[in-house]
Amino acid sequence: MSTAMHGGPDASGAAPHDFSTNGNAVGPCPVAVAALRQADAAHYPDPHYTALRARLADFHGVAVERIVIAASASEFIHRISAAVMQQGGRTAWLPAHSYGDYERAARAWGLQVLRAPQAPEGAALRWCCEPSSPLGQPQADLPQQAASESGVCVLDLAYEPLRLEGSPSLDAAQRDRVWQMWTPNKAMGLTGIRAAYAIAPVQAQAEGDLLQRIERLAPSWPLGTHGVALLHTWASDEARRWLARSLQTLGEWKSQQRALCESLGWHCLPSDANFFCARTERPYPELAAALRADGIKLRDCASFGLPGHVRLGVLPPASQRGLKEGWTRAAARADH
């Protein structure tokens, strides 16, 4: 059985200083926590999510028919991959470095995988992400991807709400040409609540075939009441105000964390998001076990095609101090 590489908790539980995951470290969002406590878990939610879809449609200023509820980003990745395959698609194109579930889903559904710098021409399914994962950078070819008439293009917007620098490459009209995938649990600091949604392109709404197929492939009740509560709160003014304040804090922490990493002799790569990649002065796998014993976890980027690099979510100053002290101790032990 193959094992997917992820950040976050492992067999030992959650690390006290977990840099391996990209959730909002200022969170959890208080108004979302209050909504979760009040959620009625004694009953099923509306199986059509009528009120939730209307709220999300109003939040984004789109037709309600374009809103597709998903159990998680990973569930939607698999579902749209299956739908493209069922419509006769044979290939999926991925950026050079990307979330592993794009490839896992493609291979699970029998799609041939093409990866940049291979050209995407002829691909039935094309994956884009901005800010990108794992680098947190703009995707240079995103406007061209959105303008292409070939195949289905999905834009993963998991980290757009956590953007600390730069600006989106697409305007609203360009986004209307692609599938938009939103996973607010990261921005809300509640990654343990699995809930997501997609916004279909205007053309997909008009044609209907792929959109209907994706809806037919959905399980019954993809979201429980807690997922509904999270997405409902995400679209509230209170949550938006809290998120705006948290981004200011994350920006300050990010500057401090980059300076700390550079003091360790690491080379930090540019990033627009609440995380960044760095090339460490010695291989992380050599120190990973010792660091984990000290309550510290980083995300090895070898599975992203970036050996010698780690990805670090931005954490508070206390965790940053723990990283510096833990790395120094682990390196000293390894040298003796």
Q: Contact 224/101 with Cβ under 8 angstroms?
A: no
Domain assignment present for 303 = yes
Shared-domain flag, residues 146 and 262? no
Shared-domain flag, residues 329 and 245? yes
Q: How high is the pLDDT of residue 4?
A: 57
Q: How high is the pLDDT of residue 9?
A: 72
Shared-domain flag, residues 294 and 169? no
In whole angstroms, what is the distance from residue 228 CA to residue 235 CA? 11
Domain assignment present for 3 = no
Q: CA-based angle 179:209:224, to the nearest 5?
A: 60
The 10 Å Cβ neighbour count of residue 63 is: 12
Domain assignment present for 5 = no
Shared-domain flag, residues 147 and 69? yes
Q: How high is the pLDDT of residue 3?
A: 46
Domain assignment present for 60 = yes
Shared-domain flag, residues 103 and 48? yes
Q: Contact 143/174 with Cβ under 8 angstroms?
A: yes
Token pair belonging to 32: 């979302």
Shared-domain flag, residues 153 and 293? no
Partners of 312 in beta bridges: 276
CATH number of the domain encompassing residue 249:
3.90.1150.10
Q: How high is the pLDDT of residue 212?
A: 94
Q: How high is the pLDDT of residue 6?
A: 66
Q: How high is the pLDDT of residue 5?
A: 58
Domain assignment present for 221 = yes
Shared-domain flag, residues 229 and 261? no
Domain assignment present for 6 = no
Shared-domain flag, residues 40 and 163? yes
Q: How high is the pLDDT of residue 333?
A: 86
Shared-domain flag, residues 224 and 248? no
CATH number of the domain encompassing residue 202:
3.40.640.10
The 10 Å Cβ neighbour count of residue 168 is: 17
Helix 73-86 vs helix 209-216: crossing angle, to nearest 10: 120
Token pair belonging to 106: 């493609």
Domain assignment present for 327 = yes
Q: Which residue ranges in the chain fall short of pLDDT 50?
A: 1-3
Q: How high is the pLDDT of residue 14?
A: 84
Q: How high is the pLDDT of residue 147?
A: 93
Domain assignment present for 180 = yes
Q: How high is the pLDDT of residue 277?
A: 98
Token pair belonging to 182: 């939103």
* Domain closes at, from 236, 263, 296: 236
* Domain closes at, from 197, 217, 236: 236
* Domain closes at, from 236, 269, 295: 236
Shared-domain flag, residues 209 and 279? no
Shared-domain flag, residues 299 and 161? no
Shared-domain flag, residues 169 and 262? no
Q: What is the pLDDT of residues 4-28, one digit of tens each?
A: 556 677 777 888 999 999 999 999 9
Domain count, the chain: 2
User: Range of 273's domain?
Assistant: 17-25+239-334
Q: How high is the pLDDT of residue 150?
A: 87
